[in-house]
Amino acid sequence: MDFKFYKLLLLGGAVRLYFSGTSLASLIGNRVEFATPLNSFKRVQEGVFLLQQGIDPYRGDLVHETPLLLKALSGILLNYAQLLPILYILLDLCTGSLLYFLSRRFVEQKLQEQRLERKDYAKDTEELQYSADDNCNISELVLLAYLFNPLTIMSCIGLTSTVLSNLLLAMYLYAMIRRQLLVCLALLAFETVRSLYPVVLIAPLLLLFARHSVSRGIGILMLFATCCLAVVGANFLVMNSWNFLDGTLGFIFYFRDLQPNIGLFWYFFTEMFEHFRTMFLITFQLNATVLYLVPLSIKLRKEPLLLATVLVALMAVFRAYPSLGDVGFYLALLPLWRRCWKFMAHGFVVFTFFLITLSMMGALWHLWIYAGSANANFYFGATLAFCTGQIFLITDLLFAHVKREFCLYNGQKIMIDGEEARILLE
């Protein structure tokens, strides 16, 4: 680690500490783009209070955080509430640090792979290959993309539990790149019990540890199920009740709260006839979990980390209660694939989508809720365009990866009848 790493880390912490003391912090904590029924700090506060009073917080429909986390935060909330912003900042800095170390390890592994495969590469592909300089450049870009992304900063100062989710995902990815199977399974089980959708991240582990062995893959799945049961059992010991399962996983799957957010669920289920609800609920949940899992796993079987990145991004788009903090996390992973950027053709379109839709969300929300001069269609239009921009980004990254792999072995210039051919994916 160099001095620049510590300097960026301190600067990122200072930025968060400054804004946490302003009125922006309370504003962000109430914004539907950042605070959802799952990650809202107010709901965590309510859950801690009910738990301390001996009341089951899952009897109503307000608290949806796991008992383990409520118990862990109760001591701080009750005795050192003024230090809570510092705790969230430290957790966010830990996430940035893990992503930094992850990127360094990733580049080192890529360099080792290239030494073995370079003899098969085409001659004009030097710019597509990872270099020793990438060990510093890519890791710094990842750190910058996380610490100074407005989406992650505001998610942190708003005290959303997305900060903890990002930390757990960063720990999982770091353990995966270091080939620590048991740590990965434990972290993934904890996050799966909290928010359901990370269950799909078992696929990169299977590709990494059991690509050529079905029996080993079955063993990993059984071990993962055991870890999930252990986490569920630990939550039961805190509450001495199974109500938390319906208040957490059940609440997510059945989508009981129609509060608007940046996702796609809320508008459709607000407008839908009740007798169609079950069919569309299953359809939407399949789309958010297993629909893309098999084809992506087959295509990216040699790149488990890229598969994990794409799955995290798809979760941020299609999950029931997404937030901008989820988006900020996967955006910080994009510099890992810097050598694919040359083939990404929709960068300007995606940037424009993000800039315009994020700017419009606040204005359209005000016109709808406060001014009364707009309706739900206006706000959903902005969120739908934002999701479309994210899909453009994900597909662009996947196509760029495929093009880079093709050009590495076939060259960037392919001549047909004396003319340079264009590489098109259909």
Q: What is the pLDDT of residue 78?
A: 84
Q: What is the pLDDT of residue 414?
A: 65
Q: What is the pLDDT of residue 254?
A: 94
The Cα 377–Cα 355 span in angstroms is: 20
pLDDT of residue 140 exceeding 90 = yes
The Cα 356–Cα 316 span in angstroms is: 19
The Cα 342–Cα 344 span in angstroms is: 6
Q: What is the pLDDT of residue 118?
A: 86
Q: Is the dihedral of CA 251, 254, 260, 264 positive or negative?
A: positive
Q: What is the pLDDT of residue 112?
A: 93
**Model pLDDT for residues 286-329, shown as the tens digit of each residue:** 999 999 999 999 999 999 999 999 999 999 999 999 999 999 99
The Cα 265–Cα 203 span in angstroms is: 25
The Cα 64–Cα 37 span in angstroms is: 7
Q: What is the pLDDT of residue 299?
A: 93
**For the chain, what is the radius of gyration of the CA atoms?**
22
pLDDT of residue 425 exceeding 60 = no
In the 3-class helix/strand/coil scheme, how is 159-224 assigned residue by residue?
Answer: CCCHHHHHHHHHHHHHHHHCCCHHHHHHHHHHHHHHHCHHHHHHHHHHHHHCCCCHHHHHHHHHHH
The Cα 15–Cα 95 span in angstroms is: 16
What confidence tier does 27 reach under pLDDT thresholds 50, 70, 90?
very high
Q: What is the pLDDT of residue 124?
A: 81
Q: Which amino acid is at 72?
A: A
pLDDT of residue 20 exceeding 70 = yes
What confidence tier does 48 reach under pLDDT thresholds 50, 70, 90?
very high
What tokens were used for 299?
A: 């295509």
Exposure of 374 by Cβ count < 10 A (0-12 exposed, 13-18 middle, 19+ buried)?
middle
What are the two backbone dihedrals, phi and then psi, of residue 192, each rounded to the nearest 5 degrees?
-65, -40
pLDDT of residue 119 exceeding 80 = yes
Q: What is the pLDDT of residue 267?
A: 94
Q: What is the pLDDT of residue 117?
A: 87
Among the residue ranges 75-79, 267-271, 395-399, the one predicted with the least confidence is 75-79
More confident residue, 378 or 120: 378
Classified as helix, coil or strand, 303 is coil
In the 3-class helix/strand/coil scheme, how is 249-293 assigned residue by residue?
Answer: HHHHHHCCCCCCCCCCHHHHHHHCCHHHHHHHHHHHHHHHCCCCH
Q: What is the pLDDT of residue 244?
A: 93
User: How many helices (H) does the chain have, and how many strands (E)?
Assistant: 20, 2
More confident residue, 113 or 420: 113
What confidence tier does 3 reach under pLDDT thresholds 50, 70, 90?
confident
Report the b/e string of 276-299 with b at 16+ CB within 10 A: eeeeebeebbeebbeebbeebbee
**Model pLDDT for residues 389-420, shown as the tens digit of each residue:** 999 999 999 999 999 998 888 887 765 655 66
